[in-house]
Chain A
Amino acid sequence: MALKGNLRDFSFSQLLNLISLAKKTGTLEVHGPGKDAIISFDEGKLSYAQNSQNDNGLAAVLLRTEKLTDKQYHVIKDKAENIGDKELGLMLINSNYVTQDEILASLKQEFVSTANDLFTWAEGIFQFENNKKPSPEIISLLINLENIIIEGSRQLQEKERLEDEIPSLDMALKFTETPGTNIRNVNLSVKEWRVVSFINPKNSMRQIARTTKLNEFEFRRIVYSLVQAGLVEIIRPEGTDPPSPKIPTLPVESADEQKSLVNRLITRIRSL
């Protein structure tokens, strides 16, 4: 019996829990609005994951985890495009570009990140095909699902909280004008500096996230920490008009009558 349905009705964490408990082997395909993901499992453990938003080849994964430079990546893409991941991995290890541990750590990070992203999908048609394994040319791993389920659920809660704090990425950022605050004296990570370097009332947060190649979750997390530290504030982007203040709805039309009506209300409230 095929395991299929919609994440709307059966969440990704419930699915992972089921696969883990039943020690299932097979491949889960999820088709969400505008994005797809494929995740393989072996005896209830995560063995492979890919999504439709990224190039999932080994070279691209190593580039994303900064184990390869842009130049090295392009050389590999040009000269070794038709080589499978396993063969490419051996070549890279033998030529001392990366170590085996670095490859495995990068792939683990990539697979877990793809799985974590699925926790945030509110809906998506899924189908689990029993005993379907990934292509033998790709490098598969065996990652316990328990930690992924716990961490994914935690991240989902954090994501919801961050979305509450920063509901729209169409707003912009500007440095606060609090005297005595100097961002140069603050210890920031490389990613945080990348975001900071694009802070300008003309740039929307969405544009900065795109330019810095950060996913929305990572980006919101950075912005939240900068806002909490009092270093930046969220503002309306330059050139966009704020919603015009609305004159309250009153049952009279002329300005004088409206003022008179409000003054009558004031007089009455004072007399209570």
Chain B
Amino acid sequence: MQTVKMVVTGPFSSGKTQFIQTVSEIDVVATERKISSESERIKETTTVAMDFGRITVDDDLVLYLFGTPGQKRFDFMWEILSEGMLGFVVMVDSSRPETFREARRILETFRAYAPTPYVVTANKQDLPDAWDPSDMRIALRLAPDVKLLPCTATDKESVKNALLELLYSILERMES
């Protein structure tokens, strides 16, 4: 059995767990805990180790999706998670511009760990105060060739699109 993995990363509460849950064929093995910090009390629980989803391709091949913990104090996990990954998805909450700088820091860190292909998703596009992806590209200072994809992590087609775009980038890298 061959296994490959992709990492889903991004700031706290950017929607990583939901992204994996939407396409995983198993219930996501989530390692969530109630949040103790007042400043991070945007939601009730957060991922403290990693989320873990699975997509079986065929009898020989399985794709694993790993979600990184969103809180800064778990940064030490990133290097371990990034090892051997096929590529990574950086989730950004389009409605919370205060997290954009953190998203950029995460992106740079992952690129340094492993310069594998990646895509950035402008998540929560269904929220009324979501930023337009073209504005987010400027705010996140993404180069024109970086794929920034509008996304709603609860919508399967949207998540599929992000994963497919990442796989197309991987294929392009192999052919270049």
Contacts and interface: CB of A to CB of B under 8 A. Distances in A.
Nearest to B167: A266
A261 interface: yes
A23 interface: no
B136 interface: no
Contacts of B174: 247, 255, 258-259, 262
Q: Contact residue range for chain B?
A: 20 to 34
Interface of B: 2-4, 23, 55-58, 61, 63, 84-87, 101, 105, 108, 114-117, 156, 160, 163-164, 167-168, 170-171, 173-175
Interface in A201-254: 243-252
Contacts of B116: 246, 248
Contacts of B167: 262, 265-266, 269
Q: Contact residue range for chain A?
A: 20 to 34
Nearest to A267: B57
A249 B108 CA distance: 20
Contacts of A250: 4, 86
Interface centre among B57, B168, B173 (most CB of A within 10 A): B57
B164 A266 contact: yes
9 closest residue pairs by CB, A with B: A251-B2, A268-B57, A248-B86, A249-B84, A246-B115, A266-B167, A248-B116, A243-B115, A269-B163
B105 A268 contact: no
B160 A265 contact: no
Contacts of B163: 269
A258 B86 CA distance: 11
